[in-house]
Structure 1
Amino acid sequence: MSLLVTGARLITIPAGTDDPGYFENGWMLVRDGRIAALGEGEPPLTADEVLDVGGAFVAPGFVSSHSHLFTSGLRGLGVSETLYGWCDSMLGMTAGFTPEDAYWSTLHGALDFLANGVTTAYNFTDPLQAWEPMIDGRRTGTAALRGLEYHTRQADGCRDAGIRFVDAIGMDATAGSDEEIFDRFAASVAHTRAMDPALALGASIMGQVQWSPRADAAEVEAEAMRRFGVTNQAHFLESPEAVPLQQSKFAMYRDAGALGPAMMFGHFIQTTPEIIAEAAAAGSSMSWQPASNGRLASGVALVPEMIGAGMKVGMGLDDQACTDVSDPWQNMRMGIAMQRARTKDPLAMMPERALRLHTLGSAEILGVADRVGSLEVGKFADFVVVDPRRPDVGPLWHPVRSYVLSMTPRNLRQVYVGGVLVDEGGASTNPLASEASARLHADLPALAARTAHPR
């Protein structure tokens, strides 16, 4: 099957250049789920179906390089708290989750991302060990393990929602012998790798060194990276508490040999020039979550400095429970505003750069830029149709900048994954959407009442 998109303000975000790849009157041909051709003017081609967008923007689906989709039903918790108090509030709830609770919550979160134009997510699954309150900058690591199904049902939720995802799996390195830990991780990775590779784009480690009581936790993760050929993204240097202790743990990853292109640092706020230089020199990257960092009072990452040092950077929406609205345009605008306010320099973060970071830049740090992140021939046809006239924002003096600065989910008309319509005007085409909503509204309040969660 083929689809011809016409009449588009086409933004392609091509690789290898800072040019956003804008066509005022663009067209794009999709064949068998991938982009077959694109250009400007009158298309020289025909297709089975024609979608005339009438001057709306057509742009790549957003890529969230740091996400926790199981949190979709937990918005509004821990509002008066910084990171760890918020985790106690939010993850204290998921401590009572069953595998089916995790499945439906993840499915709901993935559909929410799609409804807001996010077509690919790096998804941190809720670990098999439930959250424990932090004591002296670490957890005790003594919580009982939930069964393997607790992870696999979260991966199933992403698959059944139809979002493309990288599956990030906790090592739970305090539970069992090292070989038991590796065997458990191997089973989770095998489940993900057995899925349709067009949706399950890869497996990764949810780096847990930041709060692990194991002095050799980084060595366990580095060995898993080598043994299973996976990437690793660590929540690192996020919180403004116990900063010297946090910074000292960077040496653990360095000494374990984990630094390199397969190592990502999520948040990476409480850094030093030396840490940035060392991470950049090794080829490690970072994922920037400006909306989450603001909501949790975590601080502002030195993103322009990191880019200047040669680090690759992506953008993520983090938890629905700490961005509250999965709005990638809001995320970009908050990031732009934070960097400009911090540096007092408007060139510190331009709209074109923010858009690239939330699309191709995110795909690059995840290692999936050959498949998603831009509208280029051969890639999956994952795109959004965004109408600047509904609501009308006026003349588009600088169209790409207006796309970043003036669009909101209200302008989002349609979302396509592989050339197939998955959401229209906030209404999902997925047959499981109604049940996912009903489950969350019924099951999560019942769970809170049953466990006397304080909220």
Structure 2
Amino acid sequence: MSLLVVHARLITVPAGTTDPGYVEDGWMLVGDDGRIAALGSGEPPADVTASVGADDTLDAAGKFVAPGFVSSHSHLFTSGLRGLGVADTLYGWCDAMLGTTRHMTPEQMYWSTLHGSLDFLGNGVTTAYNFTDPLQSWESMVDGKRVGDAPLRGLDYHYRQADGTRDAGIRFVDASGMDVTAGSADEVFARFAAEVAHTRTFDPDYALGASIMGQVQWSPHPEAAEFEVEAMRRHGVTNQAHFLESPEAIEHQQSKFALYEDAGALGLGLMFGHFIQTTPEIIERAVAGGASMSWQPASNGRLASGTALVPEMLEMGMKVGVGLDDQACTDVSDPWQNMRMGIYMQRARLKDPAAMMPELMLRLHTLGGAEIMGVDDRVGSLEVGKFADFVVVDPRMPDVGPLWHPVRSYVLAMSPRNLEAVYVGGRLVSDRGVSTNPLAAEASAKVHELPAALIPLRGHPH
């Protein structure tokens, strides 16, 4: 079914320009395939109007219509785990949060992932790079290192997380860890191949790709980077590594950059997640090698990780996307809050308001994220041929006053309170914060059962 959006404050974020593509009174036609067929300013042409019925027209008078947000770094299984590790930096927080998931069943992970995916959609995030919880259970870090002998769970533990993302109706890239210390090389590659194969059975319009959750930062295996690079080449997948995130054991973390560099990972689509405890030399080498990075402002603040040198990275030519990370370390999946935190952090760090402007921040949290994920041909902006994934945002509910500069007000003054509707492929998936997914109520009930089920096994995590 086609859909015609009219009278919108249209923000398109087009590729190839820094202009946000703002149209004060715009229209957009969504085809039967869920992709954008045409768009423009003023009244739509007569042939466009004639192509849809009255029931298929959305009058967005006075409201923003903008691309759905892209989170280029997310852990959607954590939606039932908010409020843990509040007094800790990364490793202590992981002990609290992932020390809890090690007791969760595949079905509990399914419902928590589904709940997290619907939570993202309800807040305007229509595409996510999603790290699944690895098969090998979390083990505590000591001096930035781990032993690597934690128990290994079955493949169903990954499959059900991927299923939860699929069933939510969010677009996603599915990332899984290789857990290279668990078993022989043949076993490691066979497990990863099975995880990729499972995801590739899904509708490719929603499962946009498979990827590796890069674990070199965590792994004691001396050839972890080589394993990941070999899997990238075998399966044609990308790789995003949590890297240089936490302010502990910084020299040890930095020493591992050479492992990825020497293995040839930088030019194969490697993304660095967080990339905070870095140096000008490491940034320069990463840019020269072709790597990109994903920036998580709210998470970095919540975990006291620090502030990534994003303006400097952009100036040096690095591609940057923005992620919401996860509900257990961002707490509220609010992309507007995430954008504002990013803007404020950079301006405060550099004491320069031009260090991060709203238009740039919006681009990083939409098209920029899609670019580093390699899916910008399908999502991230409102352009003909791309999926019609968009948000409808009402600046008068609540009323923020006159829009002196509409795009800047969209970034700086909007919030989920203003979010009226979310569409994926031209189909309504959230109406004023209420999911249209038939599994939403059950997902909510299931995650509320987690404390009673897990505290007897885990104890009450700090």
Q: TM-score range by the shorter chain?
A: over 0.9
Rounded to whole Å, the distance in 2 between the matches of 1:313 and 1:450 is: 40
Aligned match of 1:19: 19
Rounded to whole Å, the distance in 2 between the matches of 1:94 and 1:414 is: 32
Residue 335, structure 1, aligned to residue 342, structure 2: yes
Question: Contact conserved, 2:215 with 2:241, CA < 8 A, in 1?
Answer: yes
Question: Contact conserved, 1:261 with 1:285, CA < 8 A, in 2?
Answer: no
Aligned match of 1:133: 140
Runs of 4+ in 1 over 4 A off after TM superposition: none
Q: Once the two structures are superposed, what CA deviation does each residue of 1:10-53 show, in whole Å capped at 9, x if it has no partner?
A: 00000000000000000000002000000000111121310001
Rounded to whole Å, the distance in 1 between the matches of 2:461 and 2:28 is: 51
Question: Contact conserved, 1:141 with 1:174, CA < 8 A, in 2?
Answer: yes
Rounded to whole Å, the distance in 1 between the matches of 2:245 and 2:458 is: 29
Aligned match of 1:112: 119
Aligned match of 2:9: 9
Amino acid at match of 2:156: E
Tell me the SS of whatever aligns to 1:7: strand
Q: For 1:349-428, what aligned pairs fall within 5 Å after superposition?
A: 349-428=356-435
Tell me the SS of whatever aligns to 2:80: coil
Amino acid at match of 2:300: N
**Selected match of 1:101 from 92, 105, 108:** 108
Rounded to whole Å, the distance in 1 between the matches of 2:104 and 2:374 is: 31
Tell me the SS of whatever aligns to 2:375: coil
Identity level (%):
77
Question: Contact conserved, 1:93 with 1:453, CA < 8 A, in 2?
Answer: no
Q: How many residues are matched?
A: 455
Displacement of 1:339 after TM fit? Answer: 0.2
The more displaced of 48-57 and 120-129 is 48-57
The more displaced of 254-263 and 419-428 is 254-263
Q: For 1:251-290, what aligned pairs fall within 5 Å after superposition?
A: 251-260=258-267, 262-290=269-297
Q: Once the two structures are superposed, what CA deviation does each residue of 1:72-97 show, in whole Å capped at 9, x if it has no partner?
A: 01111110000000000011110101
The more displaced of 259-268 and 306-315 is 259-268
Rounded to whole Å, the distance in 1 between the matches of 2:454 and 2:42 is: 56
Residue 64, structure 1, aligned to residue 71, structure 2: yes
Segments of structure 2 that go 5 or more residues without pairing to the other structure are none
Rounded to whole Å, the distance in 2 between the matches of 1:204 and 1:66 is: 12
Amino acid at match of 1:27: W
Amino acid at match of 1:444: P
Question: Contact conserved, 2:180 with 2:227, CA < 8 A, in 1?
Answer: yes
Displacement of 1:7 after TM fit? Answer: 1.2
Q: Once the two structures are superposed, what CA deviation does each residue of 1:296-342 show, in whole Å capped at 9, x if it has no partner?
A: 00000000000001000000000110000000000000000000000
CA RMSD in angstroms, aligned pairs only: 0.8
Rounded to whole Å, the distance in 1 between the matches of 2:183 and 2:268 is: 29
Aligned match of 1:36: 37
Displacement of 1:138 after TM fit? Answer: 1.6
Aligned match of 1:75: 82
Tell me the TM-score normalised to structure 1 length: 0.99
Q: Once the two structures are superposed, what CA deviation does each residue of 1:343-374 show, in whole Å capped at 9, x if it has no partner?
A: 01111100000000000000000000000000
Aligned match of 1:223: 230
Rounded to whole Å, the distance in 1 between the matches of 2:87 and 2:377 is: 41
Rounded to whole Å, the distance in 1 between the matches of 2:377 and 2:400 is: 34
Rounded to whole Å, the distance in 1 between the matches of 2:303 and 2:87 is: 9
Q: Once the two structures are superposed, what CA deviation does each residue of 1:353-397 show, in whole Å capped at 9, x if it has no partner?
A: 000000000000000000000000000000000000000000000
Rounded to whole Å, the distance in 2 between the matches of 1:73 and 1:254 is: 36
Amino acid at match of 1:219: E
Aligned match of 1:241: 248
**Selected match of 1:164 from 160, 166, 171:** 171
Question: Contact conserved, 1:261 with 1:282, CA < 8 A, in 2?
Answer: no
Displacement of 1:140 after TM fit? Answer: 1.3
Question: Contact conserved, 2:100 with 2:461, CA < 8 A, in 1?
Answer: no
Tell me the TM-score normalised to structure 2 length: 0.98
Displacement of 1:186 after TM fit? Answer: 0.2
Tell me the SS of whatever aligns to 1:72: helix
Tell me the SS of whatever aligns to 2:217: helix
Amino acid at match of 1:42: E
Question: Contact conserved, 1:37 with 1:377, CA < 8 A, in 2?
Answer: yes
Q: For 1:301-320, what aligned pairs fall within 5 Å after superposition?
A: 301-320=308-327
Tell me the SS of whatever aligns to 2:208: strand
**Selected match of 2:442 from 431, 435, 441:** 435
Rounded to whole Å, the distance in 2 between the matches of 1:433 and 1:360 is: 28
Tell me the SS of whatever aligns to 1:18: coil
